Structure 1
Amino acid sequence: MSAPRIVLDGALRCRDEADAAAVRAHLAKHVRLTRAEPGCLAFAVDPTDDPLVWEVRERFADAEAFAAHQARVRESEWGRATAGIPRAYEVREER
């Protein structure tokens, strides 16, 4: 039996325009690097009608790939620039 996929769905909720500017400044590179990671099946961070909120959808092949992604993000420009921005995420396994 194969390992379950890891699915993350939720929202990045900026507190103010400064947070939103940080997201806009770093998002394209973050998306490009994440999509190139081994085990990344899908990754999207899309604006919503609210200019301070982005919808986040992630799919990874397994828990190991998801953990590697999280570790890379913590050390990345994106991770440092957006560390204080609140996230509302649900992470689950999917078969």
Structure 2
Amino acid sequence: MSKVILEGFIIVPEPDLIAVQAELINHKRLTMAEPGCLVFEVVQCTINPYRFNVYEEFIDRDAFERHQARVKSSAWDKVSANIERHYSQQSAG
């Protein structure tokens, strides 16, 4: 069984920034409560306020897929619809 690691960044359009920042608090809380979530970090860049660095670890592919399914029906999905996503994904361990 291999961990799934997702790493990269998102770019938030200026008109969406306040809504994304507000919903991100809830999104982090819900994600960390998911079974199989080991690490979930989304950190706003200090140089570019529209960029957020992302690092996620899930215990296995099933946990990652459950996370993806939950997000599709969440407030985060609606708020983040216009975000540019730049991720790489790997399995480890």
Q: If the TM-score is normalised by the length of the shorter chain, which range does it land in?
A: over 0.9
CA shift for structure 1 position 22: 2.2
The residue aligned with 2:23 is 26
1:6-57 C-alpha deviation (Å, 9 max, x unpaired) = 0000001113x21222211200000000000000000010011201000000
| In 1, Cα distance between equivalents of 2:26 and 2:72 | 14
**Unpaired runs of at least 5, structure 2:** none
The residue aligned with 1:91 is 89
The one of 37, 43, 46 aligned to 1:46: 43
Moved over 3 A (4+): none
Give TM-score, length-normalised by structure 1. Answer: 0.93
**Unpaired runs of at least 5, structure 1:** none
| In 2, Cα distance between equivalents of 1:25 and 1:46 | 13
Sequence identity (%):
41
Give TM-score, length-normalised by structure 2. Answer: 0.95
| Aligned residue identity for 1:34 | T
Structure 1 vs Structure 2 CA RMSD? 0.8
